[in-house]
């Protein structure tokens, strides 16, 4: 079946512009996660959605970052007034449920964002 | 706070040689541990996970990892490297029941030499 898909695969933008990144989770997966992967670093948790519950936004680095998800479908991550330090690969993952830290997260291929 | 350390950002092995990728964790409670692999231009794929059952965990593609509480380690091994194993490998930990937040290591890039 189809895995997690993300678009665009690459995005180059100018400093100060807004960008929107999209994630299509695996059908039926109730949990969705966004991570940031800076060059040479591990994955950094950004935000988590579980069904219709309030999202956990504790990993968002600033108020320029926001994310939305409608029900159990597509999610968008928006970065306003982009800065050069926002340059990174943004990864999305989904899982069937989020239970006790054992549920497998399935990752998309990521969106590589470059801010000039 | 929980953390993960992967020793060696780059590891090179000859084809057919043993693969050993190191991961040490810091956790105050029994953790859940994961190894993910990322092939070029692809998303992360789960190799294996430890969830407090058997300490020796077998994963896909011939990889396995052993949980050693006394050493706070979860090293990844494969007896014989194949060219197709060249990729980046990430160790991750989750130590709170009911949490979905994984802490990832910085990754180890494996190169397999012909």
User: Which two tokens mark A78?
Assistant: 């928006």
Residues paired with residue A22 on neighbouring β-strands, in sequence order: A7, A76
DSSP H or E segment with residue A111: strand A111-115
Angstrom CA distances, A30 to A58, B27, B48, stand at: 19, 28, 22
Question: Is B90 at the interface with chain A, CB within 8 A?
Answer: yes
Question: Is B98 at the interface with chain A, CB within 8 A?
Answer: yes
Q: Over range B62-85, report the average pLDDT.
A: 95
Question: In percent, how much of chain B has pLDDT > 70?
Answer: 92
Q: Over range B20-24, report the average pLDDT.
A: 97
| Nearest residue of chain A to residue B91 (CA atoms) | A42
Q: Do B100 and A108 touch (CB under 8 A)?
A: no
Question: Is B10 at the interface with chain A, CB within 8 A?
Answer: no
CB pairs under 8 A between A and B: 71
Q: Do B51 and A31 touch (CB under 8 A)?
A: no
Q: Over range A79-95, report the average pLDDT.
A: 95
User: Which two tokens mark A93?
Assistant: 């993952």
How far apart CA A11 and CA A38 sit, in angstroms, is 15
Q: Which residue from A9, A61, A7, A67 is spatially nearest to A34, judged by alpha carbons?
A: A67
Please give the pLDDT value at position A87: 97
A26/B27: higher pLDDT: A26
- Residue B17's pLDDT band, with cuts at 50, 70 and 90, is very high
Q: What is the pLDDT of residues A42-83, one digit of tens each?
A: 889 999 998 888 888 989 999 999 999 987 789 999 999 999
How far apart CA A44 and CA A78 sit, in angstroms, is 16
Q: Do B90 and A110 touch (CB under 8 A)?
A: no
| Nearest residue of chain A to residue B31 (CA atoms) | A101
Mean per-residue pLDDT of chain B? 89
Please give the pLDDT value at position A5: 94
Residue B80 pLDDT greater than 80, yes or no: yes
* Residue numbers in A near B29 (CB within 8 A): none
Residue A99 pLDDT greater than 70, yes or no: no
Q: Over range B81-108, report the average pLDDT.
A: 85
Q: Which residue from B47, B53, B58, B48 is spatially nearest to B87, judged by alpha carbons?
A: B47
């Amino acid at each position: 079946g189809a895995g997690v898909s993300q678009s665009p695969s690459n995005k180059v933008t100018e400093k100060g512009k807004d960008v929107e990144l999209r994630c299509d989770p695996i059908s039926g997966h109730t949990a969705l996660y966004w991570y940031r992967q800076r060059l040479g670093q591990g994955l950094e948790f950004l935000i988590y959605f579980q069904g219709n519950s309030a999202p956990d936004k504790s990993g968002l680095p600033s108020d320029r970052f926001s994310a939305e998800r409608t029900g159990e479908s597509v999610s968008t991550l928006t970065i306003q007034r982009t800065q050069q330090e926002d340059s990174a690969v943004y990864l999305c993952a989904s899982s069937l449920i989020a239970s006790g830290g054992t549920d497998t997260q399935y990752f998309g291929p990521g969106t590589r964002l470059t801010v000039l | 706070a929980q953390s993960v350390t992967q020793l060696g950002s780059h590891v090179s092995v000859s084809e057919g040689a043993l693969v050993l990728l190191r991961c040490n964790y810091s956790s105050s409670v029994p953790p859940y541990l994961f190894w993910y692999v990322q092939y070029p231009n692809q998303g992360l794929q789960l190799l294996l996970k430890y969830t407090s059952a058997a300490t020796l965990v077998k994963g896909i593609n011939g990889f396995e990892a052993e949980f050693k509480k006394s050493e706070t380690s979860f090293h990844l091994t494969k007896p014989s490297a194949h060219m197709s194993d060249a990729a980046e490998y990430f160790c991750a930990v989750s130590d709170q029941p009911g949490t979905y937040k994984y802490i990832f290591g910085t990754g180890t890039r494996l190169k397999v030499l012909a």
